Amino acid sequence: MTKVPEVYVLGGFQTDFARNWSKEKKHFVAMMREAVHGALRETKIDPQEIEVAHVGNFAAELYCKQGHLGAFFTELDPAFSGLPTSRHEAACASGSIALL
């Protein structure tokens, strides 16, 4: 049996739910950037240490006309260029599925 490497969740970050990003005329990539850089700050992880990215999302194609969010992850930091990414959708469990 193949041994699965250990994975640790060191912390996280979330954007302010009360903010209206549309009224601020900000693209959803700005929200992703704020969340990712906030999580990196909270966990004290350097962006160059990230080996793969999994984006959990519910209905982005409906709300912001874009469903291919994994590809946008590489736009968030120069260190993410060439990083393997994917997007996971499972309604309210999308974040949990992305962790798996």
**Domain for residue 41, yes or no?**
yes
- Measured between alpha carbons, how far is residue 5 from residues 8, 15, 86 in Å? 10, 30, 19
CA–CA gap between residue 13 and residue 50 (Å, rounded)? 16
Considering the entire predicted model, what is its pTM?
Answer: 0.79
Report if residue 22 sits inside a domain.
Answer: no
Asked whether residue 59 is assigned to any structural domain, the reply reads: yes
Number of domains in the chain: 1
Task: Give the list of residues 6+ apart from residue 12 with CB closer than 8 angstroms, or none.
Answer: 39, 42, 43
Residue 39's Cβ-count burial label (10 Å; 0-12, 13-18, 19+) is: middle
Find the domain containing 32 and state its range: 28-99
Residue 4 inside a domain? The answer is no
Per-residue pLDDT of the chain (100 residues; tens, 9 = 90+): 888 888 777 788 888 889 998 899 988 889 889 999 999 999 999 999 999 988 888 887 777 777 777 788 888 999 999 999 988 888 888 878 787 7
